[in-house]
Amino acid sequence: MIELLTNAEMAEADRLTISGGVAGIELMERAGRAVAAAVLARHRAGGRILVVAGPGNNGGDGFVAARVLAERGCRVQVLLVGEADRLKGDAALAAKRWTGSVAAVDGAAAVDLGNGPFDVVIDALFGAGLDRAVDGLARAVIERMNEQTAPIIAVDLPSGINGTSGAVMGIAVKAAQSVTFFRRKPGHLLLPGRLYCGETSVADIGIRASVLPQIGVKTFENLPALWRRQFPVPELTGHKYVRGHAVVVSGPSWSTGAARLAARGALRAGAGLVTLASPRESLAVNAAASLAVMVRSIDGASELAHFLADRRFNALAIGPGVGVGAATCELTLAALAGERAVVLDADAITSFAPAPQQLVEALARRRAAATVLTPHEGEFSRYFGALDQRTKVGSKLERARLAAQLVGAIIVLKGADTVVASPDGRAAIAANAPAYLATAGAGDVLTGITTGLLAQGMPAFAATAAAVWLHGEAALAHGPGLIAEDLPEMLPRVYRALLG
């Protein structure tokens, strides 16, 4: 289940299911039962349960869970936030099926969560559809929920988290577990929302996967199921030239390490050959530190263009440690002049910030060729902020998508929730990057892995998404104490698990 549904897409999935003959109340019953099952899987029957219900369908799911848990012997209290007459449709019907008492909070007095302490609190206040800041009574209730000590299980998504952007809408419930339905939402993976969800499980409530093509979903969790069929696997009859020849452009002698990390990443990712295009003054340094990676002396844009006239060089990376300035712009434009796949990182992106349209024009001339830009937030802000003010607002997913459309290239907006976005609207969100991946040079290795997969002919979006996932898995395989040099050496272990 790799698809991620926005609030509007989930509503459409519900609508299509209901129009297909499944009653809305039946979907609500299944959702509430799934929440109750999650409670009983973690806590003994007979425990004290508080259900905090809102006036919408999320609250209706809470009323169903309350009834099922009471039937299983739990001592359940229901706290309704807001006015009972605001319950409509299926939520009103679910509330009527609850035969226990309901305590209502209307804001007239200090918020009281009831006769605690509780074993579990069920957050059925808002769910994923929240699109405005939480204030007033609801804010006070969430504050009380977060102050008490019982674990909170959120229905769909912790209240206060926007399901599409992952933003905290003023305040949010800090859940130990979230039970969502049919598919995750982007807010389950994007930061800061992911930090509030706890362990997230997806319950089957009877919505068929056949509705997904009708909805036209374009957002995915970055997992192998997204790109595994396109992943290059060496064949017994193949040879190194079949697996592509990647080029990494090196910087001056005092900053060659970044390019060498990228080259090692490309080699470990499976490229048949990798060459460092090195300035002459750093040739000795690069040659002494390289074994399987070849080194060629290249000075300036004209020499790089002449070197790249050889079509066997089918993927190139430029940016890591190459330096910021006009010379890097010239090198980058020379790299972009051909039809080979090109990955632009770090300095190659930042160098165009003073004249961002120059890069856009160069990219427009190669729409048919694979191009990937891999900025972290600072590099993204410097270049895309100068290109278009709209890239400064919105969620990480929205900003990455807009950037991809603006330049006509794949964008990798890096971080703990790395987003890969394509100009055609597809996007993938990663959730497997550990905290210790934040170390100098890690991004250079990612650039290399991406280049190595592109050299093997993997389609650009799939190659980039795969590289991000492999990068995270390599860090997980190593564990704490990770430094960038470790990442390429972990790839064989990751490949064995992936291809085994």
Cα distance between residue 373 and residue 314, in whole Å = 17
| Ranges for all domains in the chain classified under CATH 3.40.1190.20 | 224-499
Band the pLDDT of 349: cuts 50, 70, 90. Answer: very high
Three-state SS sequence of 160-214: CECCCCCCECCCCCCCCEEEEECCCCHHHCCCCHHHHHCEEEEECCCCCCCHHHH
Radius of gyration of the chain (CA): 26
Long-range contacts of 359-364 (CB under 8 A, 24+ apart): 359/332, 359/383, 359/407, 360/387, 360/406, 360/407, 360/408, 362/332, 362/333, 362/336, 363/336, 363/407, 363/408, 363/409, 364/408
Contact between 14 and 24 (Cβ < 8 Å):
yes
Residue keyed to tokens 């690069």 = 286
Cα distance between residue 57 and residue 49, in whole Å = 20
Whether the CA torsion 122, 124, 128, 133 is positive or negative: it is negative
Cα distance between residue 132 and residue 166, in whole Å = 13
| Per-residue pLDDT reduced to its tens digit, 53-89 | 999 999 999 999 999 999 999 999 999 998 888 899 9
Q: How buried is residue 268: exposed, middle or buried, by Cβ count under 10 Å (0-12/13-18/19+)? A: buried
Asked if the model's pLDDT at residue 109 lies above 70, the reply is no
Helices (H), 240-376: 257-268, 283-288, 300-307, 326-336, 347-350, 356-364
Band the pLDDT of 107: cuts 50, 70, 90. Answer: low
| Per-residue pLDDT reduced to its tens digit, 129-165 | 788 999 999 999 999 999 999 999 999 999 999 999 9
- The b/e string for 462-499 (b: 16+ C-beta within 10 A; e otherwise) is bbbbbbbbbbbbbbbbbeeebebebbbebbeebbeebe
| Per-residue pLDDT reduced to its tens digit, 231-286 | 999 888 888 888 999 999 999 999 999 999 999 999 999 999 999 999 999 999 99
* Domain 7-215 falls under CATH 3.40.50.2300: no
178: tokens are: 């979230």
| Ranges for all domains in the chain classified under CATH 3.40.50.10260 | 7-215
Contact between 410 and 343 (Cβ < 8 Å):
no
Q: For the chain, how far is it from start to end, CA to CA, in angstroms?
A: 21
- List, in sequence order, every residue forming a beta bridge with 295; answer none if it has no partner: 276
Cα distance between residue 469 and residue 330, in whole Å = 32
Asked if the model's pLDDT at residue 108 lies above 60, the reply is no
Bridge-based pairing of strands 75-81 and 219-221 is: unpaired
Contact between 243 and 271 (Cβ < 8 Å):
yes
Cα distance between residue 8 and residue 429, in whole Å = 18
Residues 6 or more apart whose Cβ sits within 8 Å of residue 284: none
Cα distance between residue 199 and residue 184, in whole Å = 12
140: tokens are: 């006070």
Q: Which of 254-263, 284-293, 482-491 has the lowest mean pLDDT?
A: 284-293
Helix-then-strand count for the chain, H and E: 18, 17
Residue keyed to tokens 């100098």 = 440
| Per-residue pLDDT reduced to its tens digit, 385-395 | 999 999 999 99
Mean pLDDT, the chain, integer: 95
| Per-residue pLDDT reduced to its tens digit, 299-308 | 999 999 999 9
- List, in sequence order, every residue forming a beta bridge with 152; answer none if it has no partner: 121
Cα distance between residue 345 and residue 413, in whole Å = 11
User: Which secondary structure element, helix H or strand E, spans residue 481, and what is its range?
Assistant: none
Band the pLDDT of 1: cuts 50, 70, 90. Answer: confident
User: Which secondary structure element, helix H or strand E, spans residue 122, and what is its range?
Assistant: strand 120-124
CATH architecture, domain defined by 224-499: 3-Layer(aba) Sandwich (3.40)
pTM, entire model:
0.96
Q: What beta strand segments (E) does 378-454 contain?
A: 410-413, 419-421, 427-429
Contact between 383 and 406 (Cβ < 8 Å):
no
Cα distance between residue 288 and residue 290, in whole Å = 6
Please state whether the peptide bond connecting residue 459 to the residue before it is cis, i.e. omega within 30 degrees of 0.
no
* CA separation, residue 185 to residues 8, 157, 200, 321 (Å): 11, 8, 11, 37
